[in-house]
Amino acid sequence: MSKEEKEESGQTAIVTGSSSGIGLETSLALARNGFYTYATMRNPAKGKALVDRAEKEKLPLQVAELDVDRDESVKNTIGGIARERKRIDVVVNNAGFALVGALEETSMDEIKAQFETNLFGALRVMKAVIPVMRRQASGTIVNITSMGGKVAIPLDPIYHGTKFALEGITESVRYELQPFGGKCDTCRARRGKDELLWQPKACT
């Protein structure tokens, strides 16, 4: 489908953790390709740079508040988008952060927070959008993982745990969506300059 056809059909995309890095650039890329894009983040005030770039290019993009750690936030934002746009075609679960440290030095509160955002946050969003995709008999979910979901290194055990789990869940859900035309896959981001890895919670 061409950019023009996407715009005419109301093709809609949602990206979580869009305040910087992968989420920001993914939001812009989807909008450039004709998707009306909701770039979501916990604090919309952090989306000014993204909005400025989108306005400069006259892209179909808006910033929306969404905290993947909170059930009500996910329910309200996803529900509002579905009512407004009548469909959700692409969802990119990008919100996350890296917790670096040895297991014995990591508190249970830190471990729970890592799983809350990186894993349970993605699951909240998936559970909210799948019924919409089922009704329209189409839709694609992309879960941002990393090579940390396939290969583990020292001092990242909790981060690896969240990404290994998300890889497995994604593979299973892929088969659940196939009967009605839905798709679910991962994108393994590489380590780089993304603030995701250097500023905890920066991309949520």
In a domain, 88, yes or no: yes
Given this model, what pLDDT does residue 67 score? 98
In a domain, 12, yes or no: yes
Counted domains in the chain: 1
145, 96 contact by CB (below 8 A): no
Annotated catalytic residue: which of 36, 38, 159, 175? 159
Helices 108-115, 157-177: crossing angle, 10 deg rounding: 30
169, 147 contact by CB (below 8 A): no
In a domain, 163, yes or no: yes
Q: Which helix (H) or strand (E) holds 17?
A: none
183, two tokens: 């798709």
Given this model, what pLDDT does residue 73 score? 99
In a domain, 30, yes or no: yes
pLDDT beneath 70, residues of the chain: 1-9, 190-204
Residue 159 is among the residues annotated as catalytic for this protein: yes
CA distances from 75 to 68, 70, 72, 92, 121 (A): 10, 9, 5, 16, 12
Residue 136: domain span:
3-197
Distance CA 141, CA 201 (A): 22
In a domain, 204, yes or no: no
In a domain, 202, yes or no: no
Given this model, what pLDDT does residue 203 score? 38
Given this model, what pLDDT does residue 200 score? 37
Instruction: Write 45-50 long-range contacts (CB < 8 A, 24+).
Output: 46/19, 46/20, 47/18, 47/19, 49/24, 50/18, 50/19, 50/24
In a domain, 203, yes or no: no
Given this model, what pLDDT does residue 136 score? 97
Given this model, what pLDDT does residue 190 score? 66
Identify the bridge partners of residue 37 per DSSP, sorted by sequence position: 13, 61
Whichever domain contains 157, its CATH number is 3.40.50.720
Query: Which pTM was predicted?
Result: 0.90
In a domain, 134, yes or no: yes
